[in-house]
Structures are given as structure tokens and as C-alpha cells.
A = this chain, B = another copy of it.
Amino acid sequence: MINGLLQKIENPIDLRRLKQDLLPDLAAELRSFIIDVVSVKEGHLGASLGVVELTIALHYVFDTPNDLLVWDVGHQAYGHKILTGRKSIFHTNRQLGGISGFPKRDESVFDAFGTGHASTSISAVLGMALASSLKGDLEKQHIAVIGDASIASGMAFEGLNHVGVSHANMLIILNDNAIGIDPSVGALKNYLTQVKNGKNPKQNNIIEALNIRYFGPIDGHDLPKLLKELRRLKKIKGPKFLHVITTKGKGLKQAEEDQVRYHAPGKFDKSTGQLIAKSNEILPPKYQDVFGETLLELALQNKKIIGVTPAMPTGSSLKIMMDALPERAFDVGIAEQHAVTLSAGMVTQGMIVYCNIYSTFLQRAYDQIIHDVALQNLPVIFCLDRAGLVGEDGATHHGVFDLAYLRCIPNLRVFAPLDEIELRQMLYTVSLGISGPVAIRYPRGRGIHTDWKKPFQKIAFGKAKCLQSGSEIAVLSTGHIGNSVKKALGYLPEKNWKKVSHYHFGFVKPLDEEKLIEIALKHKTILTLEDGCLAGGFGSAIVEFYASQVSKIPIERLGIPDTFISHGSIDVLQDLAGISPEKIAEKLNFLLLY
């Protein structure tokens, strides 16, 4: 710590007592603090380093929390958290019981609106500003800080389109670093780049066209300039827009140079920035890489194959295909709605489109799945990455609703592979031609086989598999969580595990009804298991089916209860939700008492 400034600051009131010329020193300390903690505790790094000066300037100039400040997405809010009473618990970031990696209303009065998914800040802040105005409070300031990747999303445009006809006392700050998690794309980004490179911002200014006063661009690391500009804007009533240029990863050389890797780099050496090498142990592959590598393999053999991702090429590993076949792999930016309907359009022309969207983000394109794809029965292949509990990203990012929200859509088939080999085989199977849309959901993280590149084999649609035969209880699982059943069986006394059958239902829709009838005849009890919400999910489909049958076999269901699940490691969260191997074993032992 250079001057020990940061240690004296518990909240913005302390901050505002500092002389202005000390703020650059504070910025250096804040940057060090973030690097210190993230280097050992992991988390998102680059985004917060990029807005250190902006964060200080905002809390210095504005009267937070009375003035309302919303950080879009929230990856960049670490500095904000540290300056607003959470310095001493910042090391608990993203851990169970610790603070959230994103702004969260429950956590602090300074977090005016919880974020996580992109592009919500303009709408939320406009709502606050309009409310203030109705309450007659014309002094309160309302500030949205949004990145250049987020502002290109449709939702942000809807907000801007409304801001421009309002008289709301609102400041939109564009944090323009030309990168989201991956580099930003799209025409708006190119326009912003031109402005940064000296184009007269008054020419075809998209913000001015929307009747919002545009200011900037200014250097977001120049504290005196930032403070001056914010003070000036504070006095201007109505909607205004400040274009701030920042560098993601600012202050850590490697993070500036490799902004994608240092978005969330894992552990690293805080003095050198060097990433801590992972062990050399041969591990099963990530589902993501199985997707990426298999898709490329297929695409090399079939010219009709196309890949689409909304802004997640690295995370989804579509990047593997983008690097090899750039003309057939599309990163469309944070634009899930567009991604889905674009895919539908491509499919009408005979292409085979793999549209890869994280489960939680597919919520953004729900109408497009129903209205543009399923209603027209277009054979788009949805690859739902990060389905189930995702761990440290927490409640905003868990992919636990997909089975419920997809199962009700006619024409759509829903598949969840047991392991990465089955994922590979299903990616192959659907490439051979399908009659309607298919959704394939798989989790974040690693599979279970080190040797997964098996020769391609077709999977039969709608068939469940018996993995183990027992006499009393049938466990019906879907997807990767089925591997926890295997572990759970290992925890049972031998007399018990022999009583348990295990069936893998890759297809949540259509259900293998023949097998379900057979199962009911052979067992006394059914236990369903899924890493998705209980309400309306896989187990719900099973009880619906049996309700229509004559036999009334008792059915118990394990899955995510009707509550939002917090952040923490996947294993611990699964245990809390009652779907860890231990909890499955407990449930089986309990059921076998009867």
C-alpha cells in the first residue's frame, strides 16, 4: 500500500473527505487490492481494473447511495464493492456465504440494482429516474455504467429509445474498452471505434440521433478529466451520455495484453501476473471443448454446418470452429434473440445450424424459440451450455429453468447427455438431418472420460437406457447428474444398492413411454433426479406421464427446489439443493426403509 489511503476508506463518505490530488494514489492502491485478492481467490479481473478511476470518480462526485448507480453486468463492480463497505469481506467474493461476484440489492444499499445478465442497466435506471421525477425529486442523480458490448444488445437499445423521449435526470456512461468477455463485434462497435480513432463524433452520432446529449469521448484513466466532466454533467438536467474510453485489465501488463484470458484468469502471481499452471494430470475434457472440437470435426466434413454464438466464442469453445472456419462460425454479440432467429433463417435455406447459448441466456430468446423456430418446426440445433448449477457465478447464471421452459414447447425435442461421449454422438446424430428443432443441454465443466473421441455413432431418438438393474427403486435421471447416481450407489450398503435400478433419460422430450411402463411394472418406487427446477421439469414430466396411467407407482423427485440458489462451488450447491451423491444416497436409503 503506497500511502495507506485505501485502508482508511470504509465507504464513499470517507472517500469524499480525501483531497482530489490523492485520488490517483488511491486508484493505484485499489488496483493493487483487487489484484491481490483476485490472484488468490479468483474471480473477474480485467473489467474491474479497467474502471478503477471511473469508480472512484463516480463515488467522489455523486452522492451515493442517495444518487443511484447501476453497473451493467457487474463484472466491473469489484472496486465499487470495495469502496462501499465490503473491503474487509471482499476475499469472500463468489464463495458460499460470501459476497456475490455481482452487484446485489440484498448485499448493500449501494447496489441500486442487481445485475449479472447484460444490458439491463439503462431500463432499470430510467425506471428509477422516472419514479424520482414523479415523486418531485429533481435533484437525485441516476447513473448507468454500461460497456460497449452490452450497449449493442437489443434491450439496451429499447432503453435508449425511451430515454431519448424522456426528461429523466439520467446519465449513461459508456465504458468503452472494445471488449466484453470476448472482443466486441457489430456495426455499433465499429462506429465507436471510429469515434475513438478521431472521427468527428458529431457525424452520424447514433446517440444524438436518439435525442440524447452525447459527451466525450474522454480518457477513463485520467482522473482529473473524469472528475471535471462528471461535475459538469451533474449540473445538466435530463438525459445525457458520456463516452469514456478505458483499457480492460489496466495496470496489469498481461491483463492488458491478453484481455480474454484475464477476464477471469483463475489464480495468478500477483507480482508478475503469470497464471498459476494447472496440474498436468490428464483430466476428462470440458463439455465445452467436446462441443467445440466435435463441431469442427463435423463441419470439416459437411459444408452446410454453421455455428452461431451470442458473444460467447471462448466460453462455449465455438472459437475452435471460428478459428478454423471463420466464414461459417458467427459471433453475433450479446444478441440472443437475433442469434436464434438468424439461425432459423439459415435453416430455411438448408443449412445445419448449431446455435450455442448458455442455458441462462437462452431465457433472453424464449419467444424466438417458440415463435420463430418451434412453430415453424425448423430444425435448429440449440446447444445449451452451462445447464444446471454453474457454481460461483451464482443465482443470476444458474441454468436451472431450461427443462421447464422448453418442455412445454411443441415440436421441440430436449436431450441431456449423460457424458461427453453422448454429447459428441448427439452432435453427430443431429448433423445427419432432423425433422424439427432439438435442444441439447450440458453442464459447465468436465465430463468423466479421458478417452472421449470415439468413432461417431448414431443415437436413437427418444430412447432411455438402463444403466443398472435392481428390484425395488428405479432412479430416473437426465443428463450429467446421472453420474452422481453411480457415486451415490457406491455409498449404499450392498443389500440396498442391489435393490436400485438406474435409468438414464437422455430425452426429456419425447419421453420413452414404453420404458416408463416397463419401469413401473418392475419397481415399487420411482425416484427422479435432475439438476433443474422441480416445478415443471423432468420429474414433473414423469409424474404427468404416470398420472395418465392406471398404475399408481409412488414417485419421489429430486431437483432444484422452488428458490433461487446462491453462489458457491457446484458440489456444495448441489448438496444444498439435495442432489449431491451423498444426498441421493441418503434419499435412497430412506426410501428403502419402507
Confirm or deny: A233 has a beta carbon within 8 angstroms of a beta carbon on chain B: no
Confirm or deny: A190 has a beta carbon within 8 angstroms of a beta carbon on chain B: yes
1/0 per residue, CB under 8 A from B, across A534-578: the answer is: 111101110110111000101111000011100000000000000
> Would B131 and A345 count as touching, CB distance under 8 A?
yes
Stretch at the interface among A118-126, A442-450, A479-487: A118-126
> Would A371 and B116 count as touching, CB distance under 8 A?
yes
CB < 8 Å: which of B162, B376, B535 contacts A335? B162
Confirm or deny: A417 has a beta carbon within 8 angstroms of a beta carbon on chain B: no
User: Given contacts A158-B154, A348-B113, A540-B544, is CB(A408)–CB(B210) below 8 Å?
Assistant: no
* A120: chain B residues within 8 A (beta carbon): 341, 368, 371-372
> Would B371 and A338 count as touching, CB distance under 8 A?
no
* A327: chain B residues within 8 A (beta carbon): 134
Stretch at the interface among A3-11, A79-87, A180-188, A275-283: A180-188
CB proximity to B under 8 Å, residues A25-43: none
> Would B153 and A165 count as touching, CB distance under 8 A?
no
Closest to A565 in B: B410
Distance A372 CA – B333 CA, assembled complex (angstroms): 21
Closest to A345 in B: B127
Confirm or deny: A421 has a beta carbon within 8 angstroms of a beta carbon on chain B: no
* A520: chain B residues within 8 A (beta carbon): none
CB < 8 Å: which of B116, B350, B370, B404 contacts A131? B350
> Would A376 and B105 count as touching, CB distance under 8 A?
yes
How close is A88's CB to chain B, nearest CB, in angstroms? 25
> Would B117 and A342 count as touching, CB distance under 8 A?
no
1/0 per residue, CB under 8 A from B, across A329-345: the answer is: 01011010110111111
> Would A127 and B535 count as touching, CB distance under 8 A?
no
Closest to A361 in B: B367
Distance A563 CA – B372 CA, assembled complex (angstroms): 15
How close is A404's CB to chain B, nearest CB, in angstroms? 4
Confirm or deny: A589 has a beta carbon within 8 angstroms of a beta carbon on chain B: no
CB proximity to B under 8 Å, residues A384-406: 395-396, 401, 404-405
* A306: chain B residues within 8 A (beta carbon): 131, 134
> Would A187 and B204 count as touching, CB distance under 8 A?
no
Oligomeric state, in copies: 2
Q: Specify the main secondary structure of chain A where it touches its partner.
A: helix
> Would A338 and B536 count as touching, CB distance under 8 A?
no
* A366: chain B residues within 8 A (beta carbon): 363-364, 366-367, 405
> Would A351 and B209 count as touching, CB distance under 8 A?
no
CB < 8 Å: which of B188, B211, B330 contacts A161? B188
How close is A330's CB to chain B, nearest CB, in angstroms? 8
* A208: chain B residues within 8 A (beta carbon): 204
> Would A117 and B367 count as touching, CB distance under 8 A?
yes
* A536: chain B residues within 8 A (beta carbon): 404, 407-408, 536, 540-541
Distance A409 CA – B363 CA, assembled complex (angstroms): 12
> Would A155 and B341 count as touching, CB distance under 8 A?
yes
Confirm or deny: A533 has a beta carbon within 8 angstroms of a beta carbon on chain B: yes
User: Given contacts A127-B342, A161-B188, A534-B544, is CB(A396)–CB(B371) below 8 Å?
Assistant: yes
> Would A188 and B210 count as touching, CB distance under 8 A?
yes
> Would B371 and A128 count as touching, CB distance under 8 A?
no
Confirm or deny: A146 has a beta carbon within 8 angstroms of a beta carbon on chain B: no
How close is A286's CB to chain B, nearest CB, in angstroms? 25
CB proximity to B under 8 Å, residues A120-161: 120, 123-128, 130-132, 134-135, 152-161
* A544: chain B residues within 8 A (beta carbon): 534-535, 539-540, 543, 557
Closest to A106 in B: B376
User: Given contacts A333-B161, A344-B124, is CB(A131)–CB(B351) below 8 Å?
Assistant: yes
How close is A573's CB to chain B, nearest CB, in angstroms? 15
1/0 per residue, CB under 8 A from B, across A185-216: the answer is: 11110110000000000111110111110000
Closest to A187 in B: B164
Closest to A161 in B: B186
* A557: chain B residues within 8 A (beta carbon): 544, 547-548
* A227: chain B residues within 8 A (beta carbon): none
* A540: chain B residues within 8 A (beta carbon): 536, 540, 543-544
Confirm or deny: A112 has a beta carbon within 8 angstroms of a beta carbon on chain B: yes
1/0 per residue, CB under 8 A from B, across A219-237: the answer is: 0000000000000000000
Confirm or deny: A435 has a beta carbon within 8 angstroms of a beta carbon on chain B: no
User: Given contacts A338-B159, A366-B363, is CB(A346)–CB(B131) below 8 Å?
Assistant: yes
Most buried by B among A204, A208, A344: A204
16 contacts between A and B (CB under 8 A): A113-B372, A120-B341, A120-B371, A127-B346, A134-B306, A154-B154, A155-B368, A161-B188, A162-B335, A204-B204, A206-B209, A363-B367, A375-B395, A404-B407, A407-B535, A548-B557
Identify the A interface with B (CB < 8 A). 105, 112-114, 116-117, 120, 123-128, 130-132, 134-135, 152-165, 185-188, 190-191, 202-206, 208-212, 303, 306, 327-328, 330, 332-333, 335, 337-338, 340-351, 360-361, 363-364, 366-368, 370-372, 374-376, 395-396, 401, 404-405, 407-411, 533-537, 539-541, 543-544, 546-548, 552, 554-557, 562-564
* Contacts A161-B333, A187-B209, A411-B564 supplied; 5 other A-B pairs, CB < 8 Å: A126-B342, A131-B348, A134-B306, A153-B158, A363-B366
Q: Give 9 closest A-B pairs by Cβ, nearest first.
A: A127-B345, A154-B154, A164-B187, A158-B338, A131-B349, A363-B367, A158-B335, A123-B341, A536-B536
